[in-house]
Amino acid sequence: MTVPTNLGALIARDAHDADALAIIGLDDGFNERRYTFAELDALADAVAHTLAAQYTRGERIAVLAANSPDYVATTLGIMRAGLVAVPVNYKFPRALIADVIADSGARLVFTDPQRFADAPVSLPRVVFDGEQDADGAQGFASFIVEAKARSQTFEPIVPHEKEAALFLYTSGSTGRPKGVVLSHASHLWVVETRLKAQPLDGERVLIAAPLYHMNALALVFLALAARATTVLMPAFNARNYIRAIDTYRCTWLTSVPPMISMMMQERELLARTDLSSVRYVRMGSAPVSGALLARTHALLPNAKVINAYGTTEGGPVVFGQHLAGLPTPPLAIGAAHPQVELRLVDTNGELAGEGELEMRSAGLMNGYHNRPDLAPPITPDGFYRTGDVFRRDENGFYTFIGRRDDMFVSGGENIFPGDVEKMLERHPSIQQASVIPVDDAIKGTKPVAFVVLKPGAQLSAEAVKAFALEHAPAYQHPRQVWFVDAFPLASTNKIDRAVLKREAAKRLTDDGHREKA
């Protein structure tokens, strides 16, 4: 791969296979649109030409839309023109969408018909698949029509050192969303480093996670650079996800654990579907349990499951294979990547075998946009403090314990929900568990659990508590257990713990009222 200097120029123009298939874009009805690398490249150039004629280098352009080939081409075009792409989480409430776009300083919003009403009316809007040409809105086709007719290649702007390519906003689960400033250089390094570790040529990648999230966006960039074909869904739908694997013989899946769990609920469809093409499953954004790992291997017997880790601020290159060739333990994420420096720091600020992960690499963010109120999470010697707690074993393998922010204290004991969840998910009837704290007059807080059972399984709350008491310290056992069919998901397809906390409080209140009655 010849590494470009502009992140928007990942499609190699001197490749011999310009007519190879770059993207198969699916809509909600499973209808497809196909783009070759040459066609996608030309579309990105048309966007870049049009934007460069209207906006000044460094200005921000927002994208508020579901996944689509137009979304990908637009993001590439924005960056080629020397502008900054701002993918926006469309699952945010409308007021928060407006706040994020205002915070970014975006001058224009690309959107789609379903999210058009959520785009601020104070800004000009370009609508994918739309015919609007009034009230400050313009259809995407008419926006680029002149540039597309000229069919001129666009010479991407050569960015200066650390020039911003993207603002990716955090989910806001722990406060106001933060705009993470990512440079061209940092994410070109990510692409180059990942390709050296595992070339993707010949793979067919399925992406259903949202492109406003690092997990999906970084993989799209990687697939384009590798000349792999991407099957792109607008959003995750378990049935369509399964259909896409079978129909397009997908070989590489990127997912988060709840997505795989939802797939497994579709037993009838799975029984008549061929998933044998899948060779890799990259699980990211949330830890995978032993039980889910085992069931994934059973569902996809030809696939290697990669238990991955990354952050918006630090990128997806953190861990890798052991340099001595030792096999990665089942629930570990890996050893330190050879081009990344890692250390664990305990609550006393000392280096330790268990503690908060700090990392230093060429993939780190520039900082947070427009947040002078926040102390940068970068140490004086250049390490990013992730907020994630890991344990390192004697062979140098790292295992995720939990978010530092998720940890709670019960009766003087530190409890990481992830530790308790992994223990519960070893039960043969439990598919997935989520443990959260609730207030307690004596302990301060205490753990409770929501549990999803495996299909056809039956289990009592008392049996879950007994299993916990048998397999973990008594202070970790959930004082209440509630069974649910599925977990609420946040906008990144992770379990939404905030919703579960509210639900737990409601259930405890309702139980208290019933007892009094």
Strand pairing of 84-87 and 60-64?
Answer: parallel
Same domain for 380 and 440, yes or no, is no
Task: Show which of 365, 400, 435 is a domain's final residue.
Answer: 400
Give the structural domain span for 391.
Answer: 319-400
Q: Is the pLDDT of residue 463 over 60?
A: yes
Q: Is the pLDDT of residue 516 over 60?
A: no
**Residues 6 or more apart whose Cβ sits within 8 Å of residue 40:** 11, 22, 23, 69, 72, 73, 76, 224
Q: Is the pLDDT of residue 515 over 70?
A: no
Confirm if 331 and 369 have CB atoms less than 8 A apart.
no
Scanning the structure block, which residue is given the tokens 């666009």?
A: 154
pLDDT digits (tens, 9 = 90+) for 25-38: 999 999 999 999 99
pLDDT for res 132: 59
Strand partners, 415: 408
Confirm if 250 and 229 have CB atoms less than 8 A apart.
no
pLDDT digits (tens, 9 = 90+) for 222-246: 999 999 999 999 999 999 999 999 9
pLDDT for res 261: 80
CATH number of the CATH domain containing 128 = 3.40.50.12780
Q: Is residue 75 part of a domain?
A: yes
pLDDT for res 370: 92
Q: What is the distance between the alpha carbons of residues 228 and 224, in angstroms, rounded to a whole number? A: 6
How far does Cα 350 stand from its chain's mean position? Answer: 31
Same domain for 389 and 487, yes or no, is no
Q: What is the distance between the alpha carbons of residues 249 and 302, in angstroms, rounded to a whole number? A: 13
Confidence band for 195, pLDDT divided at 50, 70 and 90 = very high
Q: Is residue 243 part of a domain?
A: no
Q: What is the distance between the alpha carbons of residues 325 and 318, in angstroms, rounded to a whole number? A: 17
Side-chain half-sphere exposure of 391, counting CA atoms within 13 A: 11
Instruction: State the total domains in the chain.
Output: 3
Output the pTM of the full model. Answer: 0.83
pLDDT digits (tens, 9 = 90+) for 423-442: 898 899 998 899 999 988 77
Same domain for 347 and 454, yes or no, is no
pLDDT for res 77: 98
Residue 324's identity, in one-letter code, is A
Residue 92 per-residue DSSP state: S
Q: Is residue 376 part of a domain?
A: yes
∠ CA 416-417-421, rounded to 5°: 125
Q: Is residue 262 part of a domain?
A: no
Same domain for 57 and 74, yes or no, is yes
- Going from the C-alpha of 222 to that of each of 11, 42, 270, the distances in angstroms are 10, 19, 29
Q: Is residue 8 part of a domain?
A: no
**Which of residues 448 and 473 earns the better pLDDT score?**
448
Task: Show which of 400, 420, 439 is a domain's final residue.
Answer: 400
Q: What is the distance between the alpha carbons of residues 304 and 168, in angstroms, rounded to a whole number? A: 29
Same domain for 428 and 390, yes or no, is no
pLDDT for res 182: 98
Same domain for 231 and 112, yes or no, is yes
Per-residue tokens: 251? 């070989």
pLDDT digits (tens, 9 = 90+) for 99-130: 999 999 999 999 999 999 999 999 999 999 86
Task: Show which of 347, 372, 400 is a domain's final residue.
Answer: 400
> How many Å from the N-terminal Cα to the C-terminal Cα in the chain?
71
Confirm if 215 and 310 have CB atoms less than 8 A apart.
yes
Same domain for 231 and 325, yes or no, is no
pLDDT digits (tens, 9 = 90+) for 141-153: 999 999 988 888 9
CATH number of the CATH domain containing 368 = 2.30.38.10
Residues 445-451 have a mean pLDDT of 93
Same domain for 39 and 123, yes or no, is yes
Residues in the chain: 517
CATH number of the CATH domain containing 414 = 3.30.300.30
Q: Is the pLDDT of residue 48 over 50?
A: yes
pLDDT for res 456: 87
Q: Is residue 4 part of a domain?
A: no
Whole-number average pLDDT of the chain? 90
Q: What is the distance between the alpha carbons of residues 383 and 389, in angstroms, rounded to a whole number? A: 15
Q: Which of 70, 73, 67, 107 is nearest to 90 (CA)?
A: 67
Q: Is the pLDDT of residue 375 over 90?
A: no
Confirm if 246 and 275 have CB atoms less than 8 A apart.
yes
Same domain for 85 and 168, yes or no, is yes
**Which of residues 409 and 122 earns the better pLDDT score?**
122
Q: Is residue 284 part of a domain?
A: no
What is the three-state SS of 116-177? HHHCCCCCCEEECCCCCCCCCEEEHHHHCHHHHHHCCCCCCCCCCCCCEEEEEECCCCCCCC
Same domain for 394 and 496, yes or no, is no
pLDDT for res 173: 53
Same domain for 464 and 384, yes or no, is no
pLDDT for res 82: 98
Share of the chain above pLDDT 70, in %: 94
Q: Is residue 96 part of a domain?
A: yes
pLDDT for res 117: 92
pLDDT digits (tens, 9 = 90+) for 280-336: 998 876 666 677 778 888 889 899 888 888 999 999 999 999 999 899 888 889 999
pLDDT for res 517: 42
Confidence band for 177, pLDDT divided at 50, 70 and 90 = confident
285: left (phi over 0), alpha (psi -120 to 50) or beta: left
Which of 299-302's residues contact partners 24+ apart within 8 Å by CB, and which partners?
299/260, 299/263, 299/264, 299/270, 299/275, 300/275, 301/276, 302/276, 302/277, 302/278
Confirm if 385 and 356 have CB atoms less than 8 A apart.
yes
Residues 10-21 have a mean pLDDT of 87
pLDDT digits (tens, 9 = 90+) for 204-228: 999 999 999 888 999 999 999 999 9
pLDDT for res 193: 95
pLDDT digits (tens, 9 = 90+) for 349-365: 999 999 999 999 999 99
pLDDT for res 194: 94
Per-residue tokens: 226? 């590798």
Same domain for 434 and 372, yes or no, is no
